[in-house]
Structure 1
Amino acid sequence: MSALLEVSGVSKSFDGFKAIDNLSFSIGEPELRAIIGPNGAGKTTFMDLVTGKTRPDSGTIRYGSASQDLTKMSEARIARAGIGRKFQKPTVFDDQTVTENLTMALKSPRSPFTVLMRRPSLVERAAEVADQVGLRGDMGRRAGTLSHGQKQWLEIGMLLAQEPRLLLVDEPAAGMTAAERERTTAMLVEAAKSRAVVVIEHDMEFVRRLKCRVSVLHEGRVLAEGSLDHVCADPRVIDVYLGRQEAVDA
């Protein structure tokens, strides 16, 4: 498995607070990786740095076979290079149908002429993506009428429609029912068969079901890495993270 993302010696401070401190690790392609850690560990800042929303004070973030330095690229260029990000709160177009949300997101030429000419194939492709995220039977529904979990799936579908090589997903299980969490697990595992998927999550049972490598961040650094059982047995992880969570069965 080759490295798709290489984070090397990256640091970022905000008003004297070091959110990321000489962070180094890599993500393969394909790979499913979970990132866990206490609040303030640097998880969201890591995603901000990879997507270009924030610039590091030092270090490099290399991406792809051409080893592009993401720290020198704009947010739009990074997105075009194949990096998609899903925020914790779903961001879909409530007044548009599931089909319309997906067709707008599809990776294709965007001129009015090509959109009109390709409309049948766009709809067919949207149906394929809807299948992947469990929304084939809801394609005619307005997104605003979907449940919270279904909106999460629609946003994941909109990102998959863009054919990303790296998908960053922030707390996908938050607010979901048990059945929705189970389907989301299967969805992410399947997506990671052909790309890199990085999941930030606090729900340890959800992480356990992903059955993937786990990176624990603390004070902007990787504190431990390995299987969930391995990191949960690490005294340092218990001290700074698991010991503060009342509902965790380590």
Structure 2
Amino acid sequence: MSKTLLELSGVSVSFDGFKAINSLSFQIGEPELRAIIGPNGAGKTTFMDIITGKTKPDEGHVLWGDKGISLLGMSESAIAREGIGRKFQKPTVFEAQTVRENLAMALKNPRGPFDVLFYKKTKRGAERIEEIAEQTGLTDSLTRPAGELSHGQKQWLEIGMLLAQEPRLLLVDEPAAGMTPAEREKTTEMLVEAARTRAVVVVEHDMEFVRRLNCKVTVLNEGSVLAEGSIDHVTSNPQVIEVYLGR
């Protein structure tokens, strides 16, 4: 049984009087894979912004880790150091650097001003880069500039860069967007594999992709949880059909 890693309770946030998140409660264990779906404006991005410290909620609690520490009031960088990694929709990789260099820069190392200056290649670091390249299907591309990669491969490189930081929670925003069917299949495998040892939250519109993840699904609507359970359970829920499938 996985232990709770992250718990949001009674979280609300308003922008100019509009409640983007409305008394939201959510929890995820470690390890666990979870998909989050919902119509546009359901609060999916704001939900991730709250977890990563980008947006401060008006009320509620966001508790993290074995000791249940509060993430509220912590800076974005402090939250990242706690082990929360986030991948945005558009891949942000260093295009002029090789895949290997991108992964090396992302490795979990001491991050002081002198540490970065006197970065030394270590045997363990090199092994870790090989492991991540294998996991993300980029072994044959390690010496290529990241700018030459396909859209799907750039997405994988960015997932690899997050894995290099060894996060306990990985938040991934619409990973399947713009991918070929083969790339989507590889991405599914990658996320399922990553979730064996950590918590992974995937925000996605593509229902077929979510079905292939074969995990618990949380449906957001108007800033709160509308339904939760297997993909079959939530897609047969009359309320979900009404708001999401528009039937």
TM-score (norm 2): 0.96
Q: Report matched runs for 1:68-217 at 5 Å.
A: 68-110=69-111, 111-112=115-116, 115-116=119-120, 118-217=121-220
Equivalent residue of 1:73, what SS?
coil
CA distance in 2, matches of 1:156, 1:25: 24
1:54 and 1:113, CA in 2 relative to 1: closer, same or farther beyond 3 A?
closer
1:230/1:147 CA distance change after superposition, 3 Å: same
2:162 is matched by which residue type in structure 1?
L
Q: Distance in 1 between matches of 2:123 and 2:116?
A: 14
Answer whether contact 1:11 1:58 (CA < 8 A) is retained. Answer: yes
2:28 maps to 1:32: no
Structure 1 residue 124: Cα displacement: 2.5
Residues in 1 aligned to 2:215 and 2:159: alpha-carbon distance in whole angstroms: 19
Q: Give how far 1:94 is off.
A: 0.4
Residue 45 of structure 1 corresponds to which residue in structure 2?
46
User: Gaps (5+ residues) in structure 1?
Assistant: 245-250
Deviation at 1:114, TM superposition (A): 5.4
Q: How many residues in Structure 1 have an aligned counterpart in Structure 2?
A: 243
Aligned sequence identity (%): 70
Q: Residue 14 of structure 2 aligns with which residue?
A: 13
Aligned partners of 1:104, 1:58: CA distance in 2, in Å? 37
Paired residue type of 1:238: I
Aligned-residue Cα RMSD (Å) equals 1.1
Cα contact 1:50–1:70 (8 A) shared by 2: yes
The residue type equivalent to 2:29 in the other structure is G
**Letter paired with 2:119:** V
> Given the alignment of the two structures, is residue 241 of structure 1 paired with residue 234 of structure 2, yes or no?
no
1:220 aligns with 2:239: no
C-alpha distance in 2 between matches for 1:87 and 1:165: 17
1:47-75 Cα deviation digits (max 9, x unpaired)? 00000001000001001001111112110
Q: What residue in structure 2 maps to residue 22 of structure 1?
A: 23
List alignment gaps of at least 5 residues for structure 2.
none
Cα contact 1:109–1:115 (8 A) shared by 2 = no
* Contact 1:5–1:63 (CA under 8 A) maintained in structure 2: yes
Distance in 2 (CA, whole Å) between partners of 1:211 and 1:130 is 24
Task: Measure, in 2, the Cα distance between the counterparts of 1:113 and 1:127.
Answer: 23
After alignment, is 208-217 or 118-127 more displaced?
Answer: 118-127
Alpha-carbon separation, structure 1, partners of 2:33 and 2:127: 28
SS in 2 for 1:157: helix
4+ residue runs over 2 A deviation: 118-124
